[in-house]
Structure 1
Amino acid sequence: MPASSFNSSFIFTIWDKILRRSNNKIGCLVISNYFYCMKRMPVFLIHLICWTAFLAYSYGSYVADFKGFRSIAFSVSMTTVQIIQFYICFLWVYPNYLKQHKIPQLIGGMIVALLAFICLRYGIEEVFYPKFFGIRNYNPGTPLLYYFKDNVYWGTSYIVVAMAVYGVQHSFRTEITNKSLKNDVVKAELAFLKSQINPHFLYNTLNYVYSLAIPVSDKLADAVLKLSDLMRYTLSESATGFVQLVKEVDYVNNYIALFKMRFEPNFYIDFNINGVSEDQEIASLMLIPFVENAFKHGVVNEKDSPVRIKLRASTKMVVFEVSNKINRGQKDTSSGVGLLNIQRRLNLIYPDKHNLLVSNNENTYKTTLTIKW
């Protein structure tokens, strides 16, 4: 059963049965406090408080009404092995195997936890205590089969307790994660809506500026036209999420051309393309942030150290490399898409199908993006 399938009624039913077996009156209060505190305290502190409350109740009666060393010794041994068994399940078995496709491993882990309980209890009560204190829990000569059966009964409680507690913790964590994702979705939707300026207004405005620029300067008119192409690609062709790789390359070329107008004649770019075809697709605007980063923080006006851009595509993958000499002068402080945002997009769009390498030798900055189709 997946941990996410736990619900409150299921958990409280389990606890009711366990507490009836152990006749533990404080248990309901402890588990209720655990549920209440899950959202408000670190897990370690919650466990510490709950175990403190449980042990205080369990051993408070011994302080108030001393029942003899023998009774205390066997209570301590039982509690010790139960706590160890609890954390074997809570920290190892359930986090690793409480999944639909790992049911055999889950059963095996629970058996290991049960055997650990039996062996530890036997070692403490039937080996350690007789040797050092002269007391034992079971009569000498007790058949091992009887001992095993009896301890299966006592050893199952905390396996179930650990499952219930782990289920509660997992459910709260899932709830927090889902809430965070919902907030991210709302923020992303608001940002998207804010960015949806009417494209027709932009196009008409740029066309008007273009018409004004033609008599003044062909270079200015060409720059306005390229800017219009960039905005059209961003607002229109990126809406579906994926575009032809050739169109993404055209966008990069237009971006480079627009930058070249700004810095020419001292603008040096080495852009090599190999293997690109019209049947290849890529997430839109996936390549441009690397080029933008190189232009913003790199040196573009040295002939001997041009910004080098390489794009190699095949039927199985695309490799995009951008390297630039690091500009030690004043940096461009304008906003841009950082590598963290790029990495997040890659994780969402190409999970387990991408590799992003970043190298910096204090002189040259290089990024290599590999995407498998």
Structure 2
Amino acid sequence: MNALQKKIGLHLLGWTLYFSYTLLGYFIYNWKFNILMLSFSQDVLRMVEFYLCYFLVFPLWLKFKNWFLLVLGIVGVMFTYIALRYIIEETLYPYLFGFRNYGINTTLSYFFFDNLYWSMPGIFLGGVVWAFETTLQKERENRNLKQEKTQAELAFLKTQINPHFLYNTLNYLYSLAYPVSDKLAGAIIKLSDLMRYMLHESKDGKVDLQKEVDYLHNYLDIYRLRFEDNFFVNFTIQGQVNGQRVPSLVLIPFVENALKHGVVDDASAPLTINLQLEKDSLYFEVSNRINKSQKDQTTGIGLPNIRRRLELIYPGKYSLYVHEDGRQYKTMLRLQTG
């Protein structure tokens, strides 16, 4: 049974018990037919109030955080209750059954103000149930979020075993390569720096932005070895890198995918990487021409995984857009770093 079916079942059970209570009172206190019908219409109208508040008024208030909207919604529900009660009990019942709830000489003003009071229980009940269910839902989401973070941390710890071994091995290889080739030794030390950065840990999972930028430079330098002079990548930084902190490896997936699936050996269409820094935000854009001859269709770190990680770390504080026109592929990421 899914969550929606469970919720529907609980609501049906609750209303069944509520209306059963009304019928029980009919048999215990020997109510007359008119009292039963008036009680029934009152209960139905409270049900209408309940769901107007449950599905419309309170969810809209939660979405927009506007108290005026909440008051307007509650007043609207009250007017709906009063209007429907007048139609049913003062118009329909006299026509069908020959009785009404209020006396025939009751003024509209008295009817209106009297029913302001009677409209309260349905609104109150709707608010209580909605608040209770919303609180449970948030607690459930928080538990799931903590579980996801725990699983991610465990997965990260598992991936650290081989990187540690590789990092130590690279340092050993560097000591062997240095006397033989400066170029080879430089490549090895850059790769060693990449591994060291991947093993970096912090309490909040974030690092200085400068380290993330250094990682990107080292990554590009190693990739450049494959193409030598035919490697055309423009990496520009606008603004000051000055103490900002970001999640480690948050930028590299976009560059990695661009290098893997883009064209990097055409001087007329270089891969462009642009990092713009503002006071409390970061804008990162990667654009590449799509490599039509690329046979490997895997995408490395998938976009859904990147979005999920950003949602866990920056809920409501990031935007990620992807544009593809068949020739050009562009990703645009904005983070609130302040």
TM-score, normalised by the number of residues in structure 1:
0.73
Given residue 114 of structure 1, which amino acid in structure 2 is its aligned partner? M
- The structure with higher relative contact order (CA 8 Å, sep 6+) is 1
Return the offset for 1:227: 0.6
330, 334, 337: which one pairs with 2:301? 337
171, 174, 177: which one pairs with 1:210? 174
Q: Is 2:289 the partner of 1:325?
A: yes
Give the 5 Å matches for 1:107-256.
Answer: 109-131=73-95, 134-144=98-108, 146-148=110-112, 150-197=114-161, 202-236=166-200, 241-256=205-220
> Which position in structure 2 is the counterpart of 1:269?
233
Number of aligned residue pairs: 333
Return the offset for 1:191: 1.9
Q: Would you say the 8 A contact 2:164–2:199 is kept in 1?
A: no
Three-state SS of the structure 1 residue aligned to 2:263 is coil
Given residue 84 of structure 1, which amino acid in structure 2 is its aligned partner? V
Q: How large is the RMSD of aligned CA atoms in angstroms?
A: 3.7
Structure 1 pair 245–183 and aligned structure 2 pair: CA distance change class (3 A): closer
Three-state SS of the structure 2 residue aligned to 1:77 is helix
Alpha-carbon distance in structure 1 between the residues aligned to 2:115 and 2:25: 25
316, 333, 336: which one pairs with 1:369? 333
Structure 1 pair 158–296 and aligned structure 2 pair: CA distance change class (3 A): same
Structure 1 pair 146–104 and aligned structure 2 pair: CA distance change class (3 A): same
> Which position in structure 2 is the counterpart of 1:290?
254
Three-state SS of the structure 1 residue aligned to 2:5 is coil
Alpha-carbon distance in structure 1 between the residues aligned to 2:284 and 2:321: 11
Alpha-carbon distance in structure 2 between the residues aligned to 1:79 and 1:240: 53
Given residue 234 of structure 2, which amino acid in structure 1 is its aligned partner? D
Alpha-carbon distance in structure 2 between the residues aligned to 1:161 and 1:225: 67
28, 32, 54: which one pairs with 1:90? 54
Q: Is 2:59 the partner of 1:80?
A: no
Which deviates more from structure 2 when the two are superposed, residues 304-313 or residues 196-205? Answer: 196-205
Given residue 93 of structure 1, which amino acid in structure 2 is its aligned partner? V
Alpha-carbon distance in structure 1 between the residues aligned to 2:313 and 2:62: 27
291, 302, 305: which one pairs with 2:269? 305
Structure 1 pair 304–183 and aligned structure 2 pair: CA distance change class (3 A): same
* Superposed CA offset, 1:260-319 (max 9, x none): 213445433222333344455444322211101111222333343332222233445433
Q: Would you say the 8 A contact 1:306–1:324 is kept in 2?
A: yes
Calculate percent identity across the aligned residue pairs.
46
TM-score, normalised by the number of residues in structure 2:
0.80
Alpha-carbon distance in structure 2 between the residues aligned to 1:80 and 1:183: 42
Given residue 211 of structure 2, which amino acid in structure 1 is its aligned partner? K
Three-state SS of the structure 2 residue aligned to 1:359 is strand
> Which position in structure 2 is the counterpart of 1:359?
323
Q: Would you say the 8 A contact 1:74–1:125 is kept in 2?
A: yes
Three-state SS of the structure 2 residue aligned to 1:318 is strand
Q: Would you say the 8 A contact 1:98–1:106 is kept in 2?
A: no
> Which position in structure 2 is the counterpart of 1:12?
none
Structure 1 pair 346–182 and aligned structure 2 pair: CA distance change class (3 A): closer
Unaligned runs of 5+ in 1: 1-36
